[in-house]
């Protein structure tokens, strides 16, 4: 994925995405003058700087004309253009959250590789030079991961934190994991579509974590049942008993999502209508966006009509909460006679 070469210092291009607060360059330059450059900086094939902004600044201060560089191949065109930008105010199509997260993961990997090479090259050096290559005037030691996440996120347009980037990456990982159950991968793909459309990241991340935990619990129950069966075969009189399906194991129809996903979805949507202005939405939404919303609402109402008769709950528990719900229709007489009323989190349907 890379090769070490000599390159002229002036030919290395530094884009505006690299940090400008370089800390104490004099100390780093003195260390390089005494011990040499222990680890080459990383550049793309076309000479665009990827990692090593402080090392390059120190080398230029020392007046070097050539320097050893690690030429990293396989960098995506999109990331290459981002690193080569010379004007932060250049007019471009804004990155979607998924595009930004993909660039973040790629850049973080490149920075982690650079940090790992620096750690290996300086492991037995006199002054452990890479420690001087962190951030600020008194940088902490840099390890294989170091500050790769923070630095990578800071270079991606949009100002999204690395924590949000990591959450999107986790959902993407689940969607692409061939070992995950099909229903879980489908749910992750649906959550990614919501994020791509501008939906919040954390609720989607929490839903995937909850469903994945339920899947893992079912798997562990299955393993325990298999272990119990094996013990019974060994210790039992003659033969083991027939294995029973664990109570926690649930067989679902293809594409059917678990209850945990339902709870997470509706918990994140509680009182959502209080945060929007219908007049503003009517003016701003495209026809397709409005059609998607109305289709989801129609399907939700139809599902709620099927669910209501199946719910048994004390009418006094939800009546008080339902008085302040927005857009709630009066209860049908038949439902009142049977004592079946909607749950609190369904009161606005």
Highest mean pLDDT among 29-43, 56-70, 115-129: 56-70
Mean pLDDT of all residues in 71-79: 79
The answer on pLDDT for 141 being more than 90 is no
Max Cα–Cα distance, the chain, nearest Å: 89
Rounded-to-integer distance, Cα 204 and Cα 268, Å: 9
Share of the chain above pLDDT 90, in %: 13
The answer on pLDDT for 173 being more than 90 is yes
Quick one: tokens of 111?
Answer: 């920075």
Q: What is the pLDDT of residue 249?
A: 44
This prediction has a pTM of 0.51
- Where is average pLDDT lowest: 36-50, 138-152, 330-344? 330-344
pLDDT band (50, 70, 90) for residue 270: confident
Instruction: Assign domain 2-149 one CATH number from 1.10.150.120, 3.40.720.10, 3.40.50.2300, 3.90.1530.10.
Output: 3.90.1530.10
The domain limits of the chain are 2-149, 161-240+255-268, 271-349
The answer on pLDDT for 224 being more than 50 is yes
Rounded-to-integer distance, Cα 157 and Cα 100, Å: 8
CA R_g for the chain: 29
Q: What is the pLDDT of residue 110?
A: 84
State the burial class of residue 122 (Cβ atoms within 10 Å of its Cβ: 0-12, 13-18, 19+).
Answer: buried
pLDDT band (50, 70, 90) for residue 66: very high
pLDDT band (50, 70, 90) for residue 348: very low
Rounded-to-integer distance, Cα 32 and Cα 190, Å: 51
pLDDT band (50, 70, 90) for residue 122: low
Mean pLDDT of all residues in 56-64: 92
Phi, psi torsion values for 49, nearest 5 degrees = -65, 135
Whether 42 contacts 52, CB under 8 Å: yes
The answer on pLDDT for 153 being more than 90 is no
């Amino acid at each position: 994925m890379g090769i070490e070469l000599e390159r002229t210092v002036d030919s290395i291009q530094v884009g505006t995405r690299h940090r400008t607060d370089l800390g104490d360059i004099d100390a780093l330059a003195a260390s390089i003058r005494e011990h040499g450059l222990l680890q080459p900086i990383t550049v793309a094939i076309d000479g665009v700087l990827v990692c090593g902004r402080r090392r390059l600044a120190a080398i230029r201060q020392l007046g070097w004309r050539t320097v050893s560089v690690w030429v990293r191949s396989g960098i995506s065109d999109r990331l290459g253009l981002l690193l080569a930008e010379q004007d932060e105010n250049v007019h471009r199509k804004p990155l979607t959250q998924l595009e930004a997260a993909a660039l973040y993961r790629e850049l973080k990997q490149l920075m982690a590789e650079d940090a790992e090479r620096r750690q290996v090259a300086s492991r037995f050096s006199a002054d452990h030079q890479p420690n001087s290559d962190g951030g600020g005037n008194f940088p902490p030691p840099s390890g294989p991961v170091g500050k790769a996440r923070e630095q990578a996120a800071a270079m991606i347009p949009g100002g999204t934190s690395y924590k949000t980037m990591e959450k999107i990456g986790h959902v993407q990982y689940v969607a692409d994991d061939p070992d995950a159950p099909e229903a879980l991968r489908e749910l992750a793909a649906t959550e990614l579509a919501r994020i791509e459309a501008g939906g919040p990241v954390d609720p989607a991340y929490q839903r995937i974590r909850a469903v994945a935990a339920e899947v893992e619990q079912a798997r562990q129950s299955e393993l325990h049942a298999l272990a119990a069966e094996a013990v019974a075969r060994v210790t039992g009189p003659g033969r083991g008993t027939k294995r029973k399906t664990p109570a926690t194991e649930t067989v679902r129809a293809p594409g059917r999502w678990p209850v945990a996903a339902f709870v997470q979805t509706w918990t994140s949507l509680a009182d959502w209508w209080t945060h929007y202005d219908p007049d503003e939405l009517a003016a701003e939404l495209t026809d397709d966006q409005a059609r998607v919303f109305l289709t989801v609402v129609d399907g939700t109402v139809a599902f709620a009509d099927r669910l209501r008769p199946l719910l048994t709950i004390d009418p006094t528990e939800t009546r008080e909460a339902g008085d302040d719900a927005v857009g709630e229709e009066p209860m049908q007489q038949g439902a009142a006679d049977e004592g079946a009323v909607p749950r609190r989190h369904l009161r606005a349907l």
